[in-house]
Amino acid sequence: MLINNPRAQRSEYALRDILSIAQADESRAWLSTWPRLNPAPTPLYSLAHAAAHFGIASLHVKDESQRSALGSFKALGAPVALLRLVTRLWHTHRLDPRALFEGQHASLLAHLTVISATDGNHGKALAAAARSLGCQCVIVLHAQVSAEREWAIASEGARIMRIDGNYDASVAEAARLAHVNGWHVVSDTSYDGYTEIPRDVMQGYGTIPAEIIEQTASARDTPAFTHVLLQGGVGGLAAGVASYFCEWHGARRPHFIVVEPHQADCLYQSALAGHAAHATGSVDSIMAGLACGAASPLAWRVLEPCIDTFMTISDDEAIAAMRVLSDPSTNDVPIVAGESGAAGFAGLAALMRERSLAALAGLNSQSRVLVINTEGATAPALYEELTGQHPEDVLARQRTISHLA
């Protein structure tokens, strides 16, 4: 399914009150002091053979699987939101971000409890950040979150609570538990009356476009890319990345395409409805990070004018993309992309298979395309089952080929 967004605009960016380069850059500076992140920017790989195969001018993949040992871009969101929450709660203390991340104020924070629902990656990042700062973390998991994802979150020191329902039910349960116990919700999705923290989370994702602009030396009036494909869960990643590019490039911004699972099409439905909406499908998808039933209303305010095209893909298309990225059988660098991580590449493959769809999205032989691998093998056993490859073997081949390039 594909729809071109009738409300997309190409004008000066006017949403700095929600997301801005200034706030994103401040978040990036704070994140640079968190010892759990790798200090270098994540790689931006050029896949020349894949580009030739698709019939486009170039294809780049920003590889967020290498952001940290946590394995996904979510490591950029929750830590910033937690830091901003703590500095708001103790605003008279003038707490230094680096000192907080180094755990120097752990005794002050020992009785602070933060809670969130998650489908895996956000919860792991929040648990890791809470552990660094020295506060308590409770994570609510819905029925479909796998045991290996639960284990990864628990190993970061979080207390796990399981519920029977889906992701949206876990969001409601986290809000209820916080209300009853005096805990603080640190959620990556917004809802009625709750926007400050999800905005801080999205702002953290601005590190990705900031690095890309530096890596490609993109001047404001000469964007490196004509098209950017962004996978959508509640819409936070897409809003955090697209807003930065929109503010930087203004009317010359790239064409943005949001890719979701068929069964969890809440952003696609939002584009049809003209407001933040619910998915029409079962929501259950192998792309666990994208299996969200409701769009984040705050993210939607940014996506509505910034995203040009919304599309959906099948689980099989995501799995096929994971396989191609892991074993390109050309000189392209192999990349470890998890189920949600591969969705942008899968969306591009689906568009380039159908000339009419490619044309609707304005893709042609001149197009310079960017996709983001938002996670590595965050569920390693599932990754091996789906690709037939061990993540470490893919990484070993990646090192050899990157070295030769």
Ligand X SMILES: Cc1ncc(COP(=O)(O)O)c(C=O)c1O
Q: How far apart are CA 313 and CA 329, in angstroms?
A: 24
CB of 182: closest distance to ligand X in angstroms? 27
Find the shortest distance in angstroms from Cβ 6 to ligand X. Answer: 22
- Does 375 bind ligand X (CB under 6 A)? Our answer is yes
- Extract the tokens encoding 363: 């893709």
H/E stretch holding 61: strand 58-63
Nearer to ligand X, 97 or 341 (CB): 341
Q: 61, 31, 35, 68: which is closest to 46 by C-alpha?
A: 61
Minimum distance from CB of 145 to ligand X (Å)?
A: 11
CA distances from 70 to 66, 120, 374, 383 (A): 9, 11, 12, 15
Asked if residue 16 lies in contact with residue 203, where contact means CB atoms within 8 angstroms, the answer is no
* Cα separation values, 56 from 109, 214, 237, 306, 391, Å: 52, 23, 25, 23, 28
Least distance in Å: CB of 57 to ligand X?
Answer: 26
The side-by-side arrangement of strands in the sheet containing 227-231 is: 2-4, 309-313, 255-261, 227-231, 368-373, 58-63, 44-46
* Total Cβ atoms within 10 A of residue 15: 16
CB closer to ligand X out of 114 and 239: 239
- Closer of 218 and 296 to ligand X (Cβ): 296
36 belongs to the binding site for ligand X (CB under 6 A):
no
Distances (CA, A) of 220 to 60, 213, 237, 244: 19, 9, 22, 11
Contact between 320 and ligand X (CB under 6 A)?
no
Q: Of residues 119, 188, 265, 308, which has the active-site annotation? A: 119
- Which one of residues 166, 231, 269, 309 is an interface residue with ligand X (CB under 6 A)? 231
State the amino acid at position 184 in one-letter form.
Answer: H
Q: Reply yes or no on whether 74 is catalytic.
A: yes
Q: What is the DSSP secondary structure assignment for residue 51, as one 8-state letter? A: H
Judged by beta carbon, residue 74 or residue 368, the one nearer ligand X is 74
State in angstroms the smallest separation of the CB of 205 from ligand X: 8
Catalytic residue flag (residue 62): no
Q: Give yes or no for a contact between 189 and 162, defined as CB atoms under 8 angstroms apart.
A: no
Site for ligand X contains 374 (CB under 6 A): yes
Gyration radius of the chain's alpha carbons: 20
* Choice among 63, 74, 124, 308 that is catalytic: 74
Q: Is 188 in the site for ligand X (CB under 6 A)?
A: yes
Regarding 340 and contact with ligand X (CB under 6 A), the answer is: yes
Q: Per CB under 6 A, does 265 bind ligand X? A: no
Q: Among 70, 175, 237, 382, which residue interacts with ligand X (rule: CB under 6 A)?
A: 237
Nearer to ligand X, 236 or 347 (CB): 236
Give, for 302, the enclosing helix (H) or strand (E): helix 297-306
| 203 counts as binding ligand X under rule CB under 6 A | no
Query: Six-digit token pair at 403?
Result: 């070295």
x/- site string to ligand X, residues 120 to 159, per CB under 6 A? -xx-------------------------------------
* Residues of this chain, 38-97, that bind ligand X according to CB under 6 A: 72, 74
Which is closer to ligand X, CB of 112 or CB of 343?
Answer: 343
How many helices and strands in the chain, by DSSP H and E?
A: 18, 11
- Indicate the residue among 2 and 295 with the shorter CB distance to ligand X: 295
Residue from 79, 97, 261, 289 in contact with ligand X (CB under 6 A) = 289
User: Footprint of ligand X on this chain (CB under 6 A)?
Assistant: 72, 74, 119, 121-122, 188, 231-238, 289-290, 292, 340-341, 374-375
Q: Annotated active-site positions, please?
A: 74, 119
